[in-house]
Structure formats: C-alpha cells, structure tokens
Amino acid sequence: MAAGSPGVQSGESLLFLTDEQLRKGIEAMFFAYRAFTADPDRILENYEYGRAHHRAIHFINRQPGLTVNTLLTLLGVTKQSLNRVLRTLVEDGLVEARVGREDKRERNLFLTERGAALERELSDAQRARMRAAYRAAGPAAVAGFRQVLEAMMDPEIHRHYQSIRDGAA
Amino acid sequence: MAAGSPGVQSGESLLFLTDEQLRKGIEAMFFAYRAFTADPDRILENYEYGRAHHRAIHFINRQPGLTVNTLLTLLGVTKQSLNRVLRTLVEDGLVEARVGREDKRERNLFLTERGAALERELSDAQRARMRAAYRAAGPAAVAGFRQVLEAMMDPEIHRHYQSIRDGAA
DNA sequence: TTGGAAAGTCAACATGGCTGACATAAAATC
DNA sequence: GATTTTATGTCAGCCATGTTGACTTTCCAA
C-alpha cells in the first residue's frame, strides 16, 4: 500500500488523493455524522424511541405503502431487528401495516397522523442543521458533497437511492 | 415550518436549500455512512473488536501520546464506555498507556507495533473506499464535500477537528 | 396440492452506549 | 499541611439495537 504516494501526475493534480487528504475526509465523516444524528436523538429521548425508529419512520414517510421487505433492504438490518421496532410503532399507533391488496402476504406500511407528526418533528430538526450547513457552504459545495457521498455508497444501495432520489412516491 | 419554500430569491439561486434537496442530502449521508463503516466492520469481525475499538485506535494513531481525557472528548462517549474498550486493547497489547511525565494522573496513549498493524489494516480498507469515491467525484467535488461536512459539525468539535486537521502530531 | 416466499415470533446472545457509586493518586488550592 | 479538585479506573446494572437460529402462519404460484 503506497502510503501517501499519488503516483505520477497526469494532466490534473492528484494531490487530493493523498492519504493525508483521505484521512481528513474520514475524520470529517465521523464528526459530521455524529452531529447529523444528534438532533433527532435528542428528540427521540423524550419519546421511548431510538435511532432505529427514526430510520423506519423516515422511509415509511418517504414511500408510503412500501413493504416490510423493501424497508428491510433500505435499512440493511435483519427482519428480527426491524420487526421489534415496527411492532412498537404499530402498537403505539404511529404506523399502520395494511395487508397487501395484490399479495396478501405483504404488509404495506403507512404513517398515521401521529406518526407523521413525529416524522415532521424529527426531520425538521435534522433539516435545520443540514440547511445551515448547506447555506454556509454554498450550492457548488453542496453539489460536490452529494457527488462524493453517492460515489461512496455500495452500488446496490446507490441504485435504490437513485430510484427514489428524485420522486417522492 | 415553511416546507420547501426557499423564500424570495436574492441574486443567487436558493433552490439548493429546498426541503427536497435537504432530504436528498440526509439520505445520502445515511447510505454513505453505512458504506463508510462497512469495510472496517468486516475486518474487525475477524478480531474480537468492534467499531468502538476502531475509533480509539484511529485517534491514538493520529495523535500518539494523547490523554484519555482528550480521547474522551474526541469520541464523545463516557469514560466507562471508553475504558471498557481501552482495557481490552491494553490487555491485548495493541495500546500502551504510559503514566504522564508532567502530570502523573494522566495516561498517555500509544499504539504498539501490533496496534499500528491493525490500524493500518483498518485504515487501508477505509481509505480505499474513500479514494475511489474521491477519484470518481473529482477534486472540486471533494472540496465541497469537506466544506459541507465541516459546516455540519458541532462548533466545539469543529474546533478540535481544525486543530488536528493539518498536522499529524 | 404442494413448495416456497413473505412475514411474524420467540429465544438467546453481543456490542456498545448509558448512569451511579466508589477508589486512588496526584495536582492544586487554601 | 490539610483539603479540594481533577484524572483515571472500576464495578454493577440497564437499555437499544444489532445478530443467529428455529419455528409458524399465510398465501401465491406452479
């Protein structure tokens, strides 16, 4: 592993690929992600929920009616983990799981009014921080931010991401 | 909460601040961070360690001789949580905790050769993904990526980040 | 009608957060 | 010199959330 050696430079500078630059990116990801989750986490403490509930609520709001299996793929956890979370959300009346119309084995997930209210509270907080960061960095930086993040995702997830990226339902 | 209304546009377009754009950034952060941690996590499974050990090793490698308290601040966890991790790393001979020279209450943390070897294995894997993403996105995008992440951090952590950003020791 | 997929459930376990309480050593302060 | 504060370590226990494995129910489709 040729540490820090960007190799012979072609036309464009490759200095942005040094180990030093990569390390800065890695640390920035760590610190930024912690801030990114901090606001919703604080809100969730007031309820009896955790980050896992937030994620489920987010994607159900995003694609109302999505199946458990789809949600499983998006979240990248086991059905047992997800089930524990979904059960409490359904019991508490934040999520409704309707039997599928075409395939009755499937469950289509929807937020109730209460679920939507919590989703709003959580995403308002998360968006506020993101908005401040976007504003501070400017539109060109935001474009680069998204480009790098997309290039970092696992290809299969990136396909999912793209397919839901531009349309709500 | 004026959902999606960027308000009256001044000279520069504010379309990048719409809720839709923010939502894409939020989801991109989630998916990218998962990929970001996936490679080290896979390696750590072979040892008996977890993500917490990785983080400790990373920062000890970054600032050899740093104190437990400093590490605590960087990681943002309780001393009990960190202690559990540090104890196993010291017992297993990956980390050395030397009594402070000036203040003997302090412990200065260093990686042993074995610790440094694991650090290299982990960061090589993490850098490989980051490098591929950087290369795919290009230098301008990388600059924007870092800008947005820095703007997203909590101010206090951002100060820490900046102070160690450009120098190794 | 039967095989297999989708979903739900139970049990058990690991990791890594947390709090609270307490111990020790050393520095700092009175 | 005595006291307080600070840095660290440690024990015990709790919680959230991830895991695997085994099993059941439902129901589509061959």
- Read off the pLDDT of residues B9-50 as tens digits, 9 standing for 90 and up: 555 678 889 999 999 999 999 999 999 999 999 999 888 899
Q: What is the pLDDT of residues B102-152, one digit of tens each?
A: 888 889 999 999 999 999 999 999 999 999 999 999 999 999 999 999 999
Distance CA B147, CA B152 (A): 9
Whole-number pLDDT of residue B12? 66
Distance CA B133, CA A151 (A): 5
> B1-33: b or e for each residue (b if 16 or more CB lie within 10 Å)?
eeeeeeeeeeeeebebbbbebbbbbbbbbbbbb
DSSP string, chain B: --TT---S--SS--GGGSHHHHHHHHHHHHHHHHHHHHHHHHHHHHTT--HHHHHHHHHHHHSTTEEHHHHHHHHT--HHHHHHHHHHHHHTTSEEEEEPSS-TT-EEEEE-HHHHHHHHHHHHHHHHHHHHHHHHH-HHHHHHHHHHHHHHS-HHHHHHHHHHHS---
Whole-number pLDDT of residue B34? 95
Q: What is the pLDDT of residues A24-58, one digit of tens each?
A: 999 999 999 999 999 999 999 888 899 999 999 99
The residue of chain A with its CA nearest to that of B28 is A149
Whole-number pLDDT of residue B103? 84
Q: Is B4 on the interface with A (CB under 8 A)?
A: no
pLDDT over 90 percentage in chain A? 73
User: Does the beta-carbon distance from A36 to B23 stay under 8 Å?
Assistant: no
Q: What is the pLDDT of residues B52-110, one digit of tens each?
A: 999 999 999 999 999 999 999 999 999 999 999 999 999 999 999 998 888 888 899 99
Contacts of A17 in chain B (CB under 8 A): 131, 134-135
Residue A147: band (very low, low, confident or very high) from pLDDT cuts 50, 70, 90: very high
Query: Cα separations (Å) of A139 from A37, A129, B144, B148?
Result: 23, 16, 9, 10
- Global ipTM: 0.89
Is the CATH code 1.10.10.10 the one for domain A32-130? yes
- Among residues A39, A43, A21, A76, which one has the least CA distance to residue B131? A21
Fold exhibited by the domain B21-165: Arc Repressor Mutant, subunit A (1.10.10)
